[in-house]
Structure 1
Amino acid sequence: MSTPTIQDILNAGKHASMTGTVLSEWAEKGTPKQREYLHGVLMAEHESRLESRRQRLLKSARLPALKTLTGFDYTSVRFPEDYGREPLESLEFINRAQDLVLYGDVGTGKTHLASALVAAACRKGIPARFFTTSALVMMLRRAKDEDRLDKELASLAKNQLLAIDELGYLPIDIEGARLLFQVIADGYEKRSLIITTNLEFSRWGTVFGDDNMAAAVIDRLVHHGRLLQFRGESYRVKNALMK
């Protein structure tokens, strides 16, 4: 039998979906060196598939900018007493369907941290999406107008983490508030939320246009959630060219 060409191998690979029986049979036939080579090929294929998945998830996340947790400056962040940087960066809160509220001053790193956590989730193979509050409400309103809201909500539900940025920066009408409430309520105890805001909880009624709806949202978030407070001078102002 002639030695297969590289193209022959590529063609065979397109049709390959190997079973345990086939792998076991060919592994038993091989020499130690051949088994080592086969193992290397299989591990390389596995890593290639994982990397493709990571890249697909990062693209689907719709991040405003690709941020990482490496080198993030936590000096402006005040953690709860029972929580800190290590459990946050481990993403254990996602596995437990817990929520995070990043609250505080403008320009202190809330959006950066939310984006970096979404990116970190995608790199671990965890489906995640990032939205500004206004973009999410606009998407939901359009879906409702086009009679496909259920489909859009089902698509959102496939994510284990949703980041909703800039809550309170722009007003939301009552219909938009109800749609946003539906997303938050649907995810309760099923998936994780990260919400960034510059408004304390007592002012969320002004965002939702209804104190009772705001109270219901807060009730769900605080049950399985943690509040990270951001204080300090805006990074953008501190490093601005315009003085």
Structure 2
Amino acid sequence: MELKFIERCENIIAVGAVGTGKTFLATALGLRACTKDKLVRFYRCLDLVNTLLESHRQGRLKKMMAQLSKAELLIIDELGFVPLHRDGAELLFNVVAQAYEKQSVIITSNLQFGHWNSVLGDNRLTAAMIDRLVHHAHILAFTGESFRLKQALSGVKNTGIDDQEVRET
């Protein structure tokens, strides 16, 4: 929470099962960085790739990459849910390569590194991306059951209202 990883341009790779808190942690760190006047960009992986592809089609890719490079913390959430088109995977690699040792990147993924090729579609590109991400990284493994599933099965609905508040009203 002190955000020293951002000052050192280190990455965080959060890998684990669905619903175990990866996005929660990434969002919390991003919000904390915002409160410390850090420039943060948060994207779902597919949204970032689609934005990059659209920027490329419109001849605005250089401008988009320049905007991304200004962020002190770049959060890419949900790498692994949807396979990327080759052009999109290459653009995502360029974002990671551009950030290497200059920015901090947080990646969340439900896939272990050995399965990232199923999303990126190219062994060399996958190896090069992982190599850059893990070089200065904190790798966090999230285990256990989905918090959302546990909550749903328990029949408890989180309303954001404290039990004490309910009894007093």
Cα deviation, 1:92-127, whole Å, max 9, x if unaligned, reads 000000001000011010001101111100100000
Compute the displacement of 1:169 (Å).
0.5
Compute the displacement of 1:241 (Å).
6.1
The residue that corresponds to 1:115 in the other structure is 27
CA shift in 2, pair 1:242/1:173, >3 Å: farther
* 2:51 maps to which of 109, 121, 139: 139
Secondary structure of the corresponding residue to residue 239 of structure 1: helix
The residue that corresponds to 1:219 in the other structure is 131
Distance 1:167 1:112 in 2: 15
User: Unpaired segments of 5 or more residues in structure 1?
Assistant: 1-88
Answering whether residue 103 of structure 2 is matched by residue 191 of structure 1, we say yes
Distance 1:112 1:217 in 2: 24
Scaled by the length of structure 2, what TM-score is found? 0.89
**Regions of 4+ moved over 6 Å:** none
Q: Which has the higher strand share?
A: 2
Secondary structure of the corresponding residue to residue 137 of structure 1: helix
Scaled by the length of structure 1, what TM-score is found? 0.62
The residue that corresponds to 1:92 in the other structure is 4
Question: Which protein, 1 or 2, shows the higher relative CO under an 8 Å CA cutoff with sep ≥ 6?
Answer: 2
Distance 2:117 2:17 in 1: 19
Choose 1 or 2 for highest CA Rg.
1
Cα deviation, 1:142-174, whole Å, max 9, x if unaligned, reads 000000000000011110000000001111010
Distance 1:141 1:221 in 2: 22
The residue that corresponds to 1:171 in the other structure is 83
Distance 1:238 1:108 in 2: 10
Number of corresponding residues: 155
CA shift in 2, pair 1:239/1:174, >3 Å: same
The residue that corresponds to 1:102 in the other structure is 14
User: Which letter maps to 1:102?
Assistant: A
CA RMSD of the aligned region, Å? Answer: 1.1
User: Unpaired segments of 5 or more residues in structure 2?
Assistant: 156-169
Distance 1:241 1:138 in 2: 35
Percent identity between the two aligned chains? 49
The residue that corresponds to 2:66 in the other structure is 154
Distance 1:142 1:166 in 2: 20
Distance 1:117 1:193 in 2: 11
Compute the displacement of 1:202 (Å).
0.8
